[in-house]
Structure 1
Amino acid sequence: MSAGACLMVGAVAMSLSGNGFSLHWTHSVEKITWSENWVVMGHALQLVEAKVKGSGAGMEPGEGAVLQDGWWVWSPMTRVPELRLAASGATGAGWTLCDGTACHELGAEPGEALMIAPCQS
């Protein structure tokens, strides 16, 4: 894993300990945990793994998902230029972004969507 990847989280630049990060959150209706692992690929973000702890409305596991230790796990390999995270305030918590050494809570209070994108050099 290369050091020095950078994300823009809203208007703040965040240095990552490597080239990837994970996002974790609780679904607002089903109250089920969801987790995704992302990699910074130049000017894009690539989703390399998604996991959901159970299933329910809007929480269906993706194509090719396998059950591992109570989690449905799959590899979407989706690439996007940015992520927009809703901040509804309906889940009791926000999003947790972890980079391998530290975790940060984002969007815990209701408000505008939060944008996450690779830093532009």
Structure 2
Amino acid sequence: MTSLCIGLAGVVWASLPLQEVTLAWQHSVEKVRWEEDYQVTPAGLVLQEARVRGSGAGMEIPDDARLRDGAWHYHRHLPPLQPLHAGRTPEAGDYQLCVKGGCQPLSHWLGPPTHTIAAVDFWACEPGDAADQRKALP
């Protein structure tokens, strides 16, 4: 069974036994929520759908997006991401991982964002591989 690994440069900080996850965050300037739904597969994270609750600087709504329940829903056709690399700083706020409607900030597993480690990776991994590679949290 594939898990979601969270870390940086191949070093696992946390491993979660998930097959589906939503990555959510608030745009640091526009203060608008973004959400991306991923399926965790052996090939990597496959983006299923994305949603944004508004537009603004650097937040263009795709032409094929549809407004539903107060958010613009759209699909991007990307190859599996292995890893998905994301910036993570105190100024930008933290990401949330959402599963079945419940969300937790990434700091729940990793501690708060810091300037010394300003990024995080998400990738699909096998649970045994993650246990062998796990290091102390930064």
**TM > 0.5:** yes
Per-residue deviation, residues 44-102 of structure 1 (Å, max 9, x unmatched): 111110000010011112241011122111011323211112112123x3000122275
- Structure 1 runs, 4 residues or longer, greater than 4 Å off: none
> What stretches of structure 2 of length at least 5 have no aligned partner?
130-138
Q: Which of the pair is proportionally richer in strand?
A: 1
| Aligned match of 2:65 | 65
| Aligned match of 1:83 | 84
The DSSP-based 3-state class of the residue aligned with 1:39 is strand
| Aligned match of 1:9 | 6
Per mean C-alpha deviation after superposition, the further-off stretch among 106-115 and 4-13 is 106-115
Per mean C-alpha deviation after superposition, the further-off stretch among 27-36 and 77-86 is 77-86
- Code of the aligned partner of 2:113: E
> What stretches of structure 1 of length at least 5 have no aligned partner?
none
In 1, Cα distance between equivalents of 2:82 and 2:27:
23
Using CA pairs under 8 Å that are at least 6 residues apart, name the structure with larger relative contact order, 1 or 2. Answer: 2
TM-score, normalised via structure 1 length: 0.83
Q: CA RMSD in A?
A: 1.9
Per-residue deviation, residues 11-31 of structure 1 (Å, max 9, x unmatched): 121112xx2100110001111
| Aligned match of 1:54 | 54
- Code of the aligned partner of 2:39: V
- Rg larger for: 2
- Code of the aligned partner of 1:52: V
Per mean C-alpha deviation after superposition, the further-off stretch among 25-34 and 69-78 is 69-78
| Aligned match of 1:109 | 113
Q: Which of the pair is proportionally richer in helix?
A: 2
